[in-house]
Amino acid sequence: MRKASEVQEPKLYERVAERLGAAIAAGTLRAGDRLPSVRQLSASERVSVSTVLQAYLHLEDRGLIETRPQSGHYVRRRERPLPAEPEVSQPTSQASPVSVSALVTRVYRAANDPRIVPLGAACPSPELLPTQRLHRELALVTREASATAIGYDMPPGSLELRQQVARRSLEWGCPLSPEDFIITHGAAEAISLSLAAVAHRGDTVVLESPAYYGTLQAIETQGLRALEIPTHPRHGLELDALESALRKRKVAAVLVVSSFSNPLGGCMPEENRRRLVELLAARGIPLIEDDLYGDLHFGPLRPRPAKAHDPDGSVLLCGSFSKTLAPGYRVGWVAPGRFRQKVELLKYAHTVATSTPPQLAIAAFLRNGGYDRHLRTLRRQLEAQVRRMVDSVGEHFPEGVRVTRPEGGMLLWVEMPRQVDALELHARALAAGIGIAPGPIFSAQKRYGNCIRLSCGFPWSPQLEGALTTLGSLARSLA
Amino acid sequence: MRKASEVQEPKLYERVAERLGAAIAAGTLRAGDRLPSVRQLSASERVSVSTVLQAYLHLEDRGLIETRPQSGHYVRRRERPLPAEPEVSQPTSQASPVSVSALVTRVYRAANDPRIVPLGAACPSPELLPTQRLHRELALVTREASATAIGYDMPPGSLELRQQVARRSLEWGCPLSPEDFIITHGAAEAISLSLAAVAHRGDTVVLESPAYYGTLQAIETQGLRALEIPTHPRHGLELDALESALRKRKVAAVLVVSSFSNPLGGCMPEENRRRLVELLAARGIPLIEDDLYGDLHFGPLRPRPAKAHDPDGSVLLCGSFSKTLAPGYRVGWVAPGRFRQKVELLKYAHTVATSTPPQLAIAAFLRNGGYDRHLRTLRRQLEAQVRRMVDSVGEHFPEGVRVTRPEGGMLLWVEMPRQVDALELHARALAAGIGIAPGPIFSAQKRYGNCIRLSCGFPWSPQLEGALTTLGSLARSLA
């Protein structure tokens, strides 16, 4: 087994790059500024020249700096300032029943057409995934384990896969054992079973606002109530607001997408994660942590799940390989802590077992190595696509548009001027062959009528550029 | 597309064999009786000599008759009389909350060990399944449709697969269209979503008694109440008892395994299916029909689903390929009638999409032909195993044992003398390396304490014979 430290710790050049990146983000270094020379930086940082060169290459790859021949390295000049970020969301403080499903189904049935430009789908394009290698593993496991691969793989699911996920958990800084995991049909089933394990019809579940519509659907179909809490576009759930809400009402569970959330893209700072877990543990409230996007960090460090701070098994950590390897394989997992027995029982009752061949294929892929290499490439691609899309939104969308600046994942949240009706924009975009996710599906309170979520999962192309231009002009015509 | 008539109609020799088989079952022809000569029968039935020969061969394959050289065909003499059949079950007429899950989990976790003789598992052995061919199809679809196979296959699921299932529905005498189906992770998910679509927490659902424990678990986890109705071991749910129960209380749905039910093995006669559907339609009560074993009929005709009589879309027909092709692929379906939109919405919320590669592989297997041929072989094997197991139970189990005589599927229900404690037998059998399913997991009322379910899914072997002998003597020691 690789030691956790090998991957958990960023490489030296990444640390250097990270510091420079932070200085650029903070405005200490501004567009057009010349960066220190390679020798200067090598001396001041006490690292080798080649480490500095690697760091500069890395920043160039990330689109933050540019090299001018015979001159040096410069902070990349933007042609126009980036659009502002959205502000902290302000949902009402009432828990409410949820009824987004009809709208979601309508939105997504319309977008099933493969000719639609998929700006609404939160998954990476197949060309960014190791499709051939995974399929090869799938073919191999059916040959090598043919009787096993055709039979039921009863809960908790493939031991081989649980071992591989447990190994990765060391690298997240949240060491779990194979016995802690139950394999599920994607994170969706993990979330659905977790909700069913901790909440009953009529109970209230706390969510970020805006929140992932799939989670809202699970809450709706289980007859639960959603309480949306103000959420910061970069730091996630506002803990003061949460604490004050918990003082006022009984809550069955809190559910957060802790890293690069869907749709806001925020990533809860480590200190907030610790405080969140403590705050809930003190009140005996379980935390369902959706860690679906944790592996897709643009910075050098993978965020550590809140579960790492869990004192008593009250955190149900959910994840999957749908956003990093194979959406259609439907392989996810939950580490349900003290709710393990309940979740396993629910798993039996809902789908009995998880599909065997996809589990074995992903286990083999992880065992044979290359997942980390794949992730490094995928992160760079997604980061480039996200930054390009932010730029493009600034260029094409109406004056006053706000857009998030996620540091991981593949999603942008776009807040347009008040008068732009996102549902109308969705309908017009669809008629023009473009799929987007309209804001109202992300709230039990039918808020965000002037917002949309854009997916950056697909590589930049003239077709994509054209779609963004069209979308922007449709939005302007509604403004 | 093949015409429905080609498969739906039994061949001529099958009709002849069926009539003789019925005469044997009814006792008109008894053990040791000589059958009519080939020429006599050819004349009386107005069929060719070769048709009669085929019919006799068929009955010999089924173990019902034997050929004595230079003498003729005789009804096979049994070494000992078969054990009696169980009587109609008599559950109490109270609806009750369900709590079988803890027991089920305990029973099944213990049986996960692959060294256990699997008399408790309701699925055919991998050697009876077209494992290699299915796996080959799986490898092929990932090559030919690699980008498709890695992506989400959003509800209702693979069109190709739905087309294939719709074609088969013609052969069931219940023609449905691809648009009628939603693909699910096995029949388990189909049943779970169907229950959630028609019943809410606290509602009462009518079941056979004994009933499949997986369904009881789904009812338990959804907070529903189960009302068990007297059930005939050969004809299924007693409709007079059902009608009287419906007069007394409000019921949200009726759920039956219409063909070769789990665990009793009964098959509802066509006339009962019609009456059941009419009876429920008149009261506006939905019927969830679990048709998991319908393809595994030992007689020449596949039972027609009750859904064939559905006047207004109130029947939710559920099925899967878990018992005939690949348990571990987790591919099933539901034709939810007028509850289609609700079920599709629930599918999104619970698992989003069904695993793509297994869907495509099964669709390819069905398209490329050979499913009917495979089914013919599988049925003969299961029939032989079931008959052998009935014999063996009669030989080894305590005096007074009763056992079902299913005409399809792979399950036997064994009723032992009152004093035999099935849970104790389960524990002792497990200690001896034998898995069985104890009766109490099949009832919300904790009945059937002296019953067990045996699976005949595995080919006869000295090991299996030894397990039956051990099991019988353990049961005798408890009697």
Residue A476 has pLDDT above 80, yes or no: yes
% chain B with pLDDT above 70: 97
A19 confidence band (pLDDT: 50, 70, 90): confident
Segment 219-238 of chain A within 8 Å of chain B by CB: 220-221, 223
Residue B61 has pLDDT above 90, yes or no: no
Determine whether the interchain pair B223/A214 forms a contact, defined as Cβ–Cβ distance below 8 Å: no
pLDDT given for residue B3 in this prediction: 41
Average pLDDT over residues B23-50: 85
Closest approach of A309 to chain B, Cα-based (Å): 28
pLDDT in tens, A118-172: 899 889 999 999 999 999 999 999 888 888 889 999 999 999 999 999 999 998 9
By CA distance, what is B356's nearest residue in A?
A328
Mutate to test the interface with A, among B101, B112, B150, B346 (most CBs of A within 10 A): B150
Q: Which residues pair with B453 in a beta bridge?
A: B413, B437
The percent helix, strand, coil of chain A (3-state, each to 5) is: 50, 15, 40
Q: What is the residue-wise DSSP string for B97-158?
A: E---HHHHHHHHHHTT-TTSEESS--S--GGGTTHHHHHHHHHHHHHHTHHHHHS---TT--
CATH topology of domain A101-106+112-123+376-478: Aspartate Aminotransferase, domain 1 (3.90.1150)
Higher pLDDT, B27 or B51: B51
Cβ neighbours for B26, distance < 8 A, ≥ 6 positions apart: none
pLDDT given for residue B111 in this prediction: 64
Choose among A151, A218, A354: nearest Cβ to B327: A151
Sheet with A411-415: list strands edge to edge.
Answer: A402-403, A411-415, A451-455, A437-438
pLDDT given for residue B18 in this prediction: 85
Which of these, A88, A346, A382, lies nearest to A237 by C-alpha position?
A: A88
Q: H/E element holding A412?
A: strand A411-415
Choose among A147, A327, A345: nearest Cβ to B150: A327
First CA to last CA across chain B, in angstroms?
Answer: 56
Closest approach of A356 to chain B, Cα-based (Å): 5
Q: Is B145 on the interface with A (CB under 8 A)?
A: no
Contact present, B149 and B158 (Cβ < 8 Å): no
Q: H/E element holding A403?
A: strand A402-403
Contact present, B146 and B345 (Cβ < 8 Å): no
Mean pLDDT, chain B, whole residue set: 92
pLDDT given for residue B306 in this prediction: 98
Locate B30 and state its tokens.
Answer: 């008894």
Helix/strand/coil (H, E, C) string of B56-107?
Answer: HHHHHHCCCEEEECCCEEEECCCCCCCCECCCCCCCCCCCEECCCHHHHHHH
- Output the CA angle A321-B126-A133, nearest 5 degrees: 30
Locate A90 and state its tokens.
Answer: 């302000």
By CA distance, what is A330's nearest residue in B?
B355
Higher pLDDT, B45 or A476: A476
Average pLDDT over residues B205-219: 96
pLDDT in tens, A326-349: 999 999 999 999 999 999 999 999
Residue A299 backbone zone (phi > 0: left; psi -120 to 50: alpha; other: beta): beta
pLDDT given for residue B79 in this prediction: 65
Which of these, A164, A179, A175, lies nearest to A5 by C-alpha position?
A: A175
Choose among B127, B350, B358: nearest Cβ to A357: B358
The phi, psi pair for A290, rounded to 5°, reads -90, 105
Residue B63 backbone zone (phi > 0: left; psi -120 to 50: alpha; other: beta): left
Classified as helix, coil or strand, A395 is helix
Determine whether the interchain pair A217/B131 forms a contact, defined as Cβ–Cβ distance below 8 Å: no
Q: H/E element holding B470?
A: helix B462-478
B-chain residues within 8 Å CB-CB of A104?
Answer: 348
Residue A1 has pLDDT above 80, yes or no: no
pLDDT given for residue A92 in this prediction: 85
In this structure, the number of other CB atoms found within 10 A of the CB of residue B472 comes to: 19
Determine whether the interchain pair A150/B201 forms a contact, defined as Cβ–Cβ distance below 8 Å: no
Closest approach of B290 to chain A, Cα-based (Å): 15
Q: H/E element holding A74?
A: strand A72-75
A&B contacts, CB < 8 Å: 205
Determine whether the interchain pair A355/B330 forms a contact, defined as Cβ–Cβ distance below 8 Å: yes
B215 confidence band (pLDDT: 50, 70, 90): very high
A265 confidence band (pLDDT: 50, 70, 90): very high
B-chain residues within 8 Å CB-CB of A220?
Answer: 349
A97 confidence band (pLDDT: 50, 70, 90): confident
In this structure, the number of other CB atoms found within 10 A of the CB of residue A433 comes to: 14
Q: Is B105 on the interface with A (CB under 8 A)?
A: yes
The C-alpha atoms of residue A311 and residue A235 are separated, in whole angstroms, by 23
pLDDT in tens, A424-453: 999 999 999 999 999 999 999 889 999 999
The C-alpha atoms of residue B246 and residue A307 are separated, in whole angstroms, by 50
Mean pLDDT, chain A, whole residue set: 92
ipTM of the complex: 0.87
Average pLDDT over residues B109-126: 83
The C-alpha atoms of residue A282 and residue A277 are separated, in whole angstroms, by 9
Contact present, A263 and A233 (Cβ < 8 Å): no
First CA to last CA across chain A, in angstroms?
Answer: 56
The C-alpha atoms of residue A372 and residue B53 are separated, in whole angstroms, by 66
Q: Is A218 on the interface with B (CB under 8 A)?
A: yes
Residue B21 has pLDDT above 90, yes or no: no
Q: Which of A106-110, A236-240, B34-38 has the lowest mean pLDDT?
A: A106-110
The C-alpha atoms of residue B177 and residue B171 are separated, in whole angstroms, by 13
Average pLDDT over residues B87-93: 90
A111 confidence band (pLDDT: 50, 70, 90): low
CATH number of A4-75: 1.10.10.10
Closest approach of B221 to chain A, Cα-based (Å): 7
Choose among B153, B200, B328: nearest Cβ to A151: B328
Q: Is A341 on the interface with B (CB under 8 A)?
A: yes
Average pLDDT over residues A306-331: 97
Q: Is A354 on the interface with B (CB under 8 A)?
A: yes
CATH architecture of the domain B117-122+373-478 equals Alpha-Beta Complex (3.90)
Determine whether the interchain pair A138/B143 forms a contact, defined as Cβ–Cβ distance below 8 Å: no
Strand positions, DSSP E, B203-306? 204-208, 225-229, 231-232, 236-237, 253-256, 287-290
pLDDT in tens, B242-263: 999 999 999 999 999 999 999 9
Classified as helix, coil or strand, B438 is strand
Q: Which residues pair with A182 in a beta bridge?
A: A334
Choose among B105, B188, B350: nearest Cβ to A192: B350
Q: Radius of gyration (Cα) for chain B, nearest Å?
A: 22
Average pLDDT over residues A58-64: 83
By CA distance, what is A102's nearest residue in B?
B345
pLDDT in tens, B353-383: 999 999 999 999 999 988 999 999 999 999 9
* Exposure string for A366-398, b = 16+ CB within 10 A, e = fewer: beeeebeebbeebbebbbbbbbbbbbbbbebbb
- Output the CA angle B388-B391-B396, nearest 5 degrees: 120
Q: What is the residue-wise DSSP string for B185-209?
A: SHHHHHHHHHHHHH--TT-EEEEES
Locate A262 and state its tokens.
Answer: 């869907």
Determine whether the interchain pair B101/A348 forms a contact, defined as Cβ–Cβ distance below 8 Å: yes
pLDDT in tens, A157-206: 999 999 999 999 998 999 999 999 999 999 999 999 999 999 999 999 99
CATH architecture of the domain B130-367 equals 3-Layer(aba) Sandwich (3.40)
pLDDT in tens, B328-360: 999 999 999 999 999 999 999 999 999 999 999
B-chain residues within 8 Å CB-CB of A214?
Answer: 348-349, 352
Average pLDDT over residues A338-365: 96
Q: Which residues pair with B458 in a beta bridge?
A: none
Which of these, A127, A61, A86, A76, lies nearest to A298 by C-alpha position?
A: A61
The domain ranges of chain B are: 4-75, 117-122+373-478, 130-367
Residue A63 backbone zone (phi > 0: left; psi -120 to 50: alpha; other: beta): left
pLDDT given for residue B7 in this prediction: 44
Classified as helix, coil or strand, A422 is helix
Higher pLDDT, B59 or A238: A238
Q: Where are the alpha helices (DSSP H) in A95-212?
A: 101-110, 131-144, 146-150, 159-171, 186-198
Q: Is B143 on the interface with A (CB under 8 A)?
A: yes
